[in-house]
Structure 1
């Protein structure tokens, strides 16, 4: 798969299981996270979102005709920031996922039903699976280093350390 189209969560997990586990734990720590999409004029829009990791995919479910769903239909690029929680503790660090959202059409009743079994969304709903283009984790190590892990499809994790 070429890097410009991204890859799914399962491929990322197989390639980098430790980083994937940490990222999933950060998202599991809180229910609501921040999704950035692009408005019609190209400016960013940030909104709250619940996400699900299910069957090797990262899923976004959205209310019908929500602005974020309409944004993604028009331009599928997104950035997703895990809720940092209260204070400065951020166990596991700060994590962000970038990529493209691919809408699952209403006719794909099997996929939508499988998602609905786990999530019980209101009907109707928009369902998007994600294609990852980047996963980033930033954390403080030994109280003196800022460490950044950057993963992109087809590449090993790059580790940057700053004092």
Structure 2
């Protein structure tokens, strides 16, 4: 089961807002894709939250774009920032990236983002969103969401 960003935001607006804020704190984040042999590949990536979708734009024929064309599964981690405070917590999103070839959709993205052209454009289908943070210097808190269910919160001492 998957959901787009808009469905997640409607189902869990508080967590969605925190996740967007965390990704908005920095420009570059870390994307994990799967190589042809199944091993992981991590690369930097800029992301956009626009019109109810989480978008990935990539240079033509970049290895991460080729990975996603072959196997759309991904994991995305927000840039943790400088130092060790990780203000806002550690945020990760898992899902599938679907390449967008529709000229109207790409034109709308270009109008908003003004990326260098040509480029690959992917919209995402989420399979999980996870936020981990420390509460009151006592608890490690993990908030996890999967489509079709509520946010589950786990606290560990």
Deviations 1:16-69 (A, max 9, x none): 000000000000000000000000000000000000000000000000000000
Match of 1:151 in 2: 145
Match of 2:38 in 1: 42
| 2:58 is equivalent to residue 100 of structure 1 | no
TM-score by length of 1: 0.95
Compute the displacement of 1:91 (Å). Answer: 1.5
Q: What is the CA–CA distance in structure 2 between the aligned matches of 1:30 and 1:41, rounded to whole Å?
A: 31
| 2:90 is equivalent to residue 121 of structure 1 | no
Q: Secondary structure at the match of 1:124?
A: coil
Compute the displacement of 1:92 (Å). Answer: 1.1
* CA root-mean-square deviation: 0.5
- How many residue pairs get aligned? The number is 157
Q: What is the CA–CA distance in structure 2 between the aligned matches of 1:118 and 1:51, rounded to whole Å?
A: 13
Q: What is the CA–CA distance in structure 2 between the aligned matches of 1:113 and 1:89, rounded to whole Å?
A: 39
Q: Secondary structure at the match of 1:160?
A: strand
Match of 2:124 in 1: 130
TM-score by length of 2: 0.99
Compute the displacement of 1:119 (Å). Answer: 1.2
**Which residue, 4, 28, 31 being the options, matches 1:8?**
4
Q: What is the CA–CA distance in structure 2 between the aligned matches of 1:25 and 1:91, rounded to whole Å?
A: 11
Q: Secondary structure at the match of 2:154?
A: strand
**Which residue, 52, 56, 59 being the options, matches 1:56?**
52
Q: What is the CA–CA distance in structure 1 between the aligned matches of 2:68 and 2:108, rounded to whole Å?
A: 22
Provide structure 2 residue ranges, at least 5 long, that are not aligned to the other structure.
Answer: none
Q: What is the CA–CA distance in structure 1 between the aligned matches of 2:145 and 2:6, rounded to whole Å?
A: 14
Match of 2:69 in 1: 73
